[in-house]
Structure 1
Amino acid sequence: MASFFRAFTAVGSHTLLSRILGFVRDLVFAHWFGANAATDAFFVAFKIPNFLRRLFAEGSFSVAFVPILTEYRTKRNKVELQRFTDHMAGSLGLVVMLVSIVGVIAAPILVMIFAPGFWNESEGKYELTAEMLTLTFPYLFFITMTAFAGSILNTYNRFWVPAFTPVLLNLSLIGCAVWLSPQMERPIMALAWGVLIAGMAQFLFQLPFLWRVRLFPRPRLGFRDPGVVRVMRLMVPALFGVSVSQINLLLDTLIASFLVSGSISWLYYSDRLMEFPVGVLGVALGTVILPNLSRRHAENSPQAFSRTLDWALRLNILFGVPAAVGLFLLAGPMLATLFFSDAFDQHDVEMATRSLMAYAPGLMGIMLIKVLAPGFYGRQDTKTPVRIGIIAMTVNMVLNIILVFPLAHAGLALATTISSGLNAYLLYRALIKGHIYTPSAGWGILLSRTLLASLAMGAFIWWGAGDIAGWLADSAMSRAWRLGGLIAAAILLYFLTLFLLGVRPGQFRSGNK
């Protein structure tokens, strides 16, 4: 497990850098543009191709392509491997290019579908969103090919390269917000250009690394290639199974478009804070274990397969539980520290705090999905997560309708929390009943120690955070120092408590329990 831990550290550290820059990006957005009709328009224009990216590129495609690519690398010769990647690159590139062209042409229709509440807005939301979408939609092509390249690199254990590419998106958006927006008649349009520029940069960045692993694709059409056919067949059910949480977020956006202006932005900033631990911990673990699970399945090693899942789940619990507690208790202070300004005022902080507190308990569910789902994808089973995903998505839709009336936008966040927890539970139960995963000894001890340490940390945060009014009254620098010190002390207390309870880092690096 030591190599896993190193790979997880590499992916997690680069993802951490990306998330930090993502916060800088959101801070720039909040201070430059605030939360209003224009930001709502951009977030929808960005969310549509971003949703499709997560659904197709980093969602169904990656989980279908990596197991097949691993099988080719393990059981086939170099010529067959190269032919497969060439055909995959050409076929995928053509399909996504056609989809991107259609998306640009049909931008007004897409806005009507994904944000119907914008149609009757008097602030020009609909027209602005459609115009920005013509710039942001081609991002789908570039980021899909980036995901294709990243999947190859992950299979060759070059995990840090795909983990670093999101940094380029954040740098592009920050640069366009700061330097390009003042030059434009409508400053918000600079962000749409930033998305397009980022897509091209992310794709080009990975090409030299493909050359180094000696698997540089030469795109050729090959829809009848047996490997391509298998990937496409696996992709169809994986569309739902891998991205139910993204579909849930999109449903939130659709319903939120009918709520007061700012609702979509409040949900966006809350979700951004949620994505920090999800990306650094959950996605990093899922990225690292999928190639290994695929290899263990190809080698017919069920015990090693189960041990890999067990290791990832233990780390997930160890880091995820305190992260959820911290997000819930520090929702207001974090939002105030990062985004409070003349453009993002006290009301915006309070509204975003409500949705973040509703999202926070669902962090564990979302993170567990990132680890449990690869347990099926590594076995080339994309149907089981589909059945489970449809159940969870249906529950989310029903809860959205029930909870949005008493809780407004926070009700949408709470619905996502509940449905994500249900999704994770059903995935776990299916792995156990299918004898795919057998928990190793020591889980009860780990859970009790994690909960005790999280309780101690939570009590300290509750005591140290105080009332939100005090945070809003402080200067920006005072808020930053106070939040940083509080988080650092809370993390130290958590790990010190774990140490006193008998938890040691070597237990996770070596696989010892």
Structure 2
Amino acid sequence: MFLNGQLLKSTALVGAMTLTSRLLGFVRDMLIARLFGADPATDAFFAAFKLPNFLRRLFAEGAFAHAFVPVLTDYKEHHGPAELKEFIDKTAGTLALILFLITAAGVIAAPLLIMGIAPGFAWQSARHELASQLLRISLPYLFFISLTAFAGAVLNAHGKFALPALTPVWLNIAMIAAALELAPRLDEPVTALAWGVFAAGIVQLAFQLPALVRLGLLPRFRPGFADPGVKKVIGLMLPAMFSVSVTQINLLFDTLIASLLAAGSVSWLYYSDRLVEFPLGILGIAVSTVILPNLSKTHAAGDPAAFSAALDWGLRLVLLIGLPATMGLIVLAEPLLSTLFQYEAFGAEDVHFAGKSLKAYAAGLLGFILIKVLAPAFTARMDIKTPVRYSIYAMIASLLLNVLAIPYAHAGLALATSLGALFNAALLLVKLRRERIYLPATGWRLFLVRIGLATGVMSAALYSQTDPNDWLDASSGKRVLRLLEWIGIGLLLYGATLWLTGMRTPLPTIKTQTGRSNG
């Protein structure tokens, strides 16, 4: 049964925990920009970190979560505690073995992997050798963080959302500590960041284990490739790598092509992506995290009306917050980058070039978020083939656009990725509507008019009154105060316009099969 209040409360809780992590992540990135700047050494680190971070999202946040949670929910609903525990044990053992083999192979083949990720570094060059060394240090993070995501999925399926959402803060804490304490002691300071990533994986996994112990679900690692439940998870996981992680694949290709462009291009894309990930993490991942187990439970219970109503609720929430966030990132792109990163080694020119790619990535923000909400509507029903097919279409479109965008440098690459995400989201939504899996609730036209008008008022005010050049020469304190002032003004204008146009309850009440309202 879906409860409007419960969904909103859980989403707000995950969003708040994610906000804490992302704010600390900005502190981390500000520190990296200040200490290391945007030079060949940081390009090497960001290229090396791209692979474990990409694989983490591919296996852990992407494919594994969407394959594991529906099967786990089915076991919870239709099997006893002993069978549930056995399924968790065998899934954990199988996952750990696969991850160990992948990690070991990656460490051995690090130079070849860097050549594939960043061919512009040139084989045997100093930058290539440094990136290979950093990859060998940081790649074991994949093993630990994927097991962390496994533990988080078990907790989420049992209604425990806060702890898994807070866990990522340890990556930021570890990297900040490494940058401040370890970097000055090393001949190559940027190597400290890779050691911080390695340590963070261990800490994040350890942080989750006590909660599993309290639930009595701490796994005994027993490989079980022949187990029916494990086989179902593996069968769903392989195609799900494409359906839920196509954006990350496109970002990886962005890094590959950017390595062939001017020095600093990889770093400019990285900082732009980090800012887009802020609303994506708070809203997209929060809604996806909460809605997937609920959609899985409703599908298992045979309640298509509640399934559609919850999806409608998620889409409204995405547009209500995502549309103004998109325009805010576009209008305030350079002020945001200047405030957060323009210190010492990261100069005004870096702000300008990173601002171009930030605007391009921001144009696809709604697409990135909508994929996070729409894909669970398929995976909750154990339909992986459809989103896989659409993801492949979107990925091919993005790759073709990447080639066409090379004359526009790194900003063109970012725009190609954004257009691919919007295309992917559109395909998913059209399919859900055509199959009548999703039936929009009443009031959508008026809802879109109101949020469109409110976003327009906010954007016009910010555009007319903010000049990016005002931030470049200001002190760090003035930048922060000025940015907070205009963000506050934007939020006030957006909220006031919604209120004046008559919006009082932007999210619909979800009803059960019996027609009783909840929330």
In the superposition, the TM-score normalised over structure 2's length comes to 0.97
State the alpha-carbon separation in 1 of the partners of residues 287 and 89 from structure 2: 28
Matched, 1:305 2:307: yes
State the alpha-carbon separation in 2 of the partners of residues 69 and 58 from structure 1: 16
Equivalent position SS for 2:76: helix
Q: Which residue of 1 aligns with 2:147?
A: 145
- Output the amino acid matched with 2:54: F
State the alpha-carbon separation in 2 of the partners of residues 318 and 440 from structure 1: 15
Equivalent position SS for 2:346: coil
Matched, 1:183 2:185: yes
Q: How do residues 90-169 of structure 1 correspond to structure 2 at under 5 angstroms?
A: 90-119=93-122, 124-169=126-171
Equivalent position SS for 1:219: coil
Distance 1:261 1:199, change over 3 A: same
The runs of 4+ residues in structure 1 deviating greater than 3 Å are 505-513
| CA deviation map 1:386-426 (0-9, x unaligned) | 00000000000000000111x10000011011111100000
| CA deviation map 1:440-472 (0-9, x unaligned) | 111111111000000111111112312x22211
- How many residues are matched? 510
Report the RMSD for the aligned CA atoms in angstroms.
Answer: 1.3
Equivalent position SS for 2:364: helix
Matched, 1:460 2:458: no
State the alpha-carbon separation in 2 of the partners of residues 509 and 266 from structure 1: 43
Deviation, 1:504, is 2.3
Q: Is the 8 A contact 1:5 1:509 kept in 2?
A: no
Deviation, 1:212, is 1.6
Matched, 1:257 2:256: no
- Output the amino acid matched with 1:491: L
Question: Which of 221, 228, 234 is residue 232 of structure 1 equivalent to?
Answer: 234
Equivalent position SS for 1:373: helix
Question: Which of 74, 88, 92 is residue 89 of structure 1 equivalent to?
Answer: 92
Q: Is the 8 A contact 2:316 2:507 kept in 1?
A: no
Deviation, 1:3, is 0.3
Q: Which residue of 2 aligns with 1:425?
A: 426
Q: Which residue of 2 aligns with 1:450?
A: 451
Matched, 1:470 2:470: yes
| CA deviation map 1:309-355 (0-9, x unaligned) | 00000000000000000000000100011111220111101000011
State the alpha-carbon separation in 1 of the partners of residues 470 and 307 from structure 2: 50
Q: Which residue of 1 aligns with 2:360?
A: 358
Q: How do residues 332-343 of structure 1 correspond to structure 2 at under 5 angstroms?
A: 332-343=334-345
Distance 1:436 1:202, change over 3 A: same
Q: Which residue of 2 aligns with 1:492?
A: 492
Percent of pairs with identical residues: 52
Matched, 1:5 2:5: no
State the alpha-carbon separation in 2 of the partners of residues 12 and 488 from structure 1: 19
Q: How do residues 292-441 of structure 1 correspond to structure 2 at under 5 angstroms?
A: 292-405=294-407, 407-441=408-442
Q: Which residue of 1 aligns with 2:514?
A: none
Q: Is the 8 A contact 2:447 2:506 kept in 1?
A: no
State the alpha-carbon separation in 2 of the partners of residues 505 and 147 from structure 1: 34
Deviation, 1:503, is 1.9
Q: Is the 8 A contact 1:368 1:424 kept in 2?
A: yes
Q: Is the 8 A contact 1:315 1:508 kept in 2?
A: no
Matched, 1:26 2:26: no
Deviation, 1:507, is 4.0
Please list every run of 5 or more consecutive structure 2 residues that lacks an aligned counterpart in the other structure.
Answer: 512-516
Matched, 1:62 2:65: yes
Equivalent position SS for 1:321: helix
Q: Is the 8 A contact 1:388 1:423 kept in 2?
A: yes
Q: How do residues 48-59 of structure 1 correspond to structure 2 at under 5 angstroms?
A: 48-59=51-62
- Output the amino acid matched with 1:460: A
Deviation, 1:257, is 0.7
Q: Which residue of 2 aligns with 1:503?
A: 503
Equivalent position SS for 1:435: coil
Deviation, 1:56, is 1.1
Distance 1:121 1:37, change over 3 A: farther
| CA deviation map 1:257-302 (0-9, x unaligned) | 1001100000000000000000000110011000000001111111
Q: Is the 8 A contact 1:403 1:411 kept in 2?
A: yes
- Output the amino acid matched with 2:458: M
Deviation, 1:510, is 6.3
State the alpha-carbon separation in 2 of the partners of residues 507 and 87 from structure 1: 40
Q: Is the 8 A contact 1:431 1:437 kept in 2?
A: yes
